[in-house]
Amino acid sequence: MENNMFCFQCQETAKGTSCILKGVCGKNATTARYMDLLLFVVRGISVVADQLRENNVPVDRKVDSFVVDALFSTITNANFDDESIVRRLDDGLQMRDSLKAQAVARGVSLPAVDELEWTGEREAYDGKAATVGVLREKDEDLRSLKELIVYGLKGMAAYLEHAMRLGHDDESIHRFMQHTLAQTATGNLSAAEWTALALKTGEVGVQTMALLDRANTTAYGHPEMTSVDIGVRHRPGILISGHDLHDLEELLEQTRDTGIDIYTHGEMLPAHYYPAFKKYPHFAGNYGNAWWKQREEFASFNGPILFTTNCIVPPLPNAEYKSRMFTTNATGFPGCKHIGNGTDGHKDYSEIIEMAKTCQPPTEIEHGTIVGGFAHNQVLQLADKVVEAVKSGAIRKFIVMAGCDGRMRGRDYYTAFAESLPKDTVILTAGCAKYRYNKLPLGDINGIPRVLDAGQCNDSYSLAVIALKLKEVFGLQDLNELPIVYNIAWYEQKAVIVLLALLSLGVKDIHLGPTLPAFLSPNVAKVLVENFGISGIGTVDEDLEKFGLKNA
């Protein structure tokens, strides 16, 4: 049992096939197995919840929250803490059994699946886990399609959770999520039907990203063009990482007039683009780069670090900054303090704040500014200028380079690609992929920066809104007639929902790199290539050629 796992959900999976002894991400085999069992339990809960709804029996909202949180906790680099996963298993099995009891009481019949029937105490979790993972599906193609869908649902869950924390929810998304999870336990679908369900997942992904966009912009205003400081000030700081804007708001509120500055890291950078956060004079700037640089950058930051979501890089055993790491929401790391919700629904950051007061100010690692804030509202305000630039030929093409960053060496490609693009092209981006080129001096075209950063990976929704608007303005029938090409980088499962969302909108010819997902079987990859024109990346030169961008 020791050292026995199977996970291939992210881009850096071992040897480009699967992690079977330990995750390249640092996930232990035991954690991986507990996560497999958690997904088993979530499937069981979803089977009953789905049947109850089919029979018009209302399902408690706690079920929705549980499923969303459980899926989120299994996303790459979100949670490394066995204890917190095991607690979710205890709670989940209890929830499943109480839903089953409701079904019995209401005369709702349930399918005979292991996900509903298995009972076992903590001591049995590990043994059971080894039998319910990804490899339980023996057919390689069905396995591939099911996992594609489940990874999409994980990304969807993450975005839905952020919206829910801001008081925005949509019952139909939960229904879809649980219905689809139930299908993965009971459904006997053909490959074509699973493919259709994957596209449907993308469609609901668009709906979820739209919900989160509404939640964020209702609470904090529309992102606007903003210069973000990347240097440091002279007071102690707290570094906040991840995607959850509500956590940031509470942290900013609680650190008012405390003599502490707040800095963002990684995917929290776009928070600076929101008007509501500009009113905090102690919201100092962005420190560092994408998630995978955290071992060096957290050491030199000197103050406490709060993870609101993935991506956590497990600190080395002797890392001094580990004692300064805090987690919240679905994240967890053994030995790091987890900040939960108080009884009033608010979080209490006083321990982090007190620690910060005893810390040295951050050590400067760079200085200057970066510009972003080009979500749909801001870009649409500039629409006349943009359309004019396209019509005059000043802008020849937009290149969507959204997605994730990662530590694989081949990702240098994205820096070289951005540098090699002709000067009459504009990069549209969202997600932490931007760190590969957002500090390059790429200049502007008639005042329009050549890198337009819409925000976090979920703000890829903004890029879709912009594309749809341009299609309308240019009177085109099809999104693919626009002068936009897609060269997307992926790493974890949020990128999977973004990809499925783009496919569901009819976007074709997406280049996906730095490597194609290991979870795509050769046959499934073939379907994606033939029907959607998905392809991997080549060399910078080859790809510039393919995109018709070779000769400026």
Binding site for ligand SF3 (CB under 6 A): 243, 266-267, 291, 310-311, 404, 431-432, 456-457, 491-492, 494-495
462 binds, among ligand SF3, ligand SF4, none (CB under 5 to 8 A by kind): none
> Which of positions 63-82 make contact with ligand SF4 (CB under 6 A)?
76
Q: Give the count of alpha carbons within 13 A of 151, CB side only.
A: 27
When the beta carbons of 134 and 271 are compared against ligand SF4, the nearer one is: 134
When the beta carbons of 25 and 85 are compared against ligand SF4, the nearer one is: 25
Least gap, CB of 411 to ligand SF3 (angstroms): 11
When the beta carbons of 85 and 454 are compared against ligand SF4, the nearer one is: 85
431 binds, among ligand SF3, ligand SF4, none (CB under 5 to 8 A by kind): ligand SF3
Could you tell me how many residues of this chain bind ligand SF4 (CB under 6 A)? Answer: 13
Query: Which region, left, alpha or beta, applies to residue 313 given φ > 0 means left and ψ of -120 to 50 means alpha?
Result: beta
Query: Which token pair is 9?
Result: 């959900």
Distance CA 212, CA 542 (A): 37
Position 408 contacts ligand SF4 (CB under 6 A): no
> What does DSSP assign to residue 438?
T
86 binds, among ligand SF3, ligand SF4, none (CB under 5 to 8 A by kind): none
R_g of the chain computed on alpha carbons: 23
When the beta carbons of 50 and 267 are compared against ligand SF3, the nearer one is: 267
- For 355-379, letters b (16+ CB in 10 Å) and e give bbeebebbeebeeeebbbbbbbbbb
Position 495 contacts ligand SF4 (CB under 6 A): no
Phi, psi torsion values for 141, nearest 5 degrees: -75, -40
Which of these, 280, 276, 275, 246, lies nearest to 263 by C-alpha position?
Answer: 280
In order, the DSSP letters of 148-187 are HHHHHHHHHHHHHHHHHHTT---HHHHHHHHHHHHHHHH-
**Candidate ranges 5-13, 51-59, 221-229, 482-490; the one touching ligand SF4 (CB under 6 A):** 5-13
> Which of positions 21-40 make contact with ligand SF4 (CB under 6 A)?
23-25, 27, 32
294 binds, among ligand SF3, ligand SF4, none (CB under 5 to 8 A by kind): none
266 binds, among ligand SF4, ligand SF3, none (CB under 5 to 8 A by kind): ligand SF3
Least gap, CB of 320 to ligand SF3 (angstroms): 23
Distance CA 9, CA 392 (A): 44
Distance CA 12, CA 515 (A): 9
Q: Give the count of alpha carbons within 13 A of 358, CB side only.
A: 7
Least gap, CB of 518 to ligand SF4 (angstroms): 7
Q: Compute CA distances 185 → 37, 64, 180, 482, whole Å.
A: 13, 18, 9, 40
When the beta carbons of 254 and 309 are compared against ligand SF3, the nearer one is: 309
Query: Which token pair is 100?
Result: 């089953």
> What does DSSP assign to residue 243?
S
10 binds, among ligand SF4, ligand SF3, none (CB under 5 to 8 A by kind): ligand SF4
Position 20 contacts ligand SF4 (CB under 6 A): no
Least gap, CB of 428 to ligand SF4 (angstroms): 27
Residues that bind ligand SF4 (CB under 6 A): 7-10, 12-13, 19, 23-25, 27, 32, 76
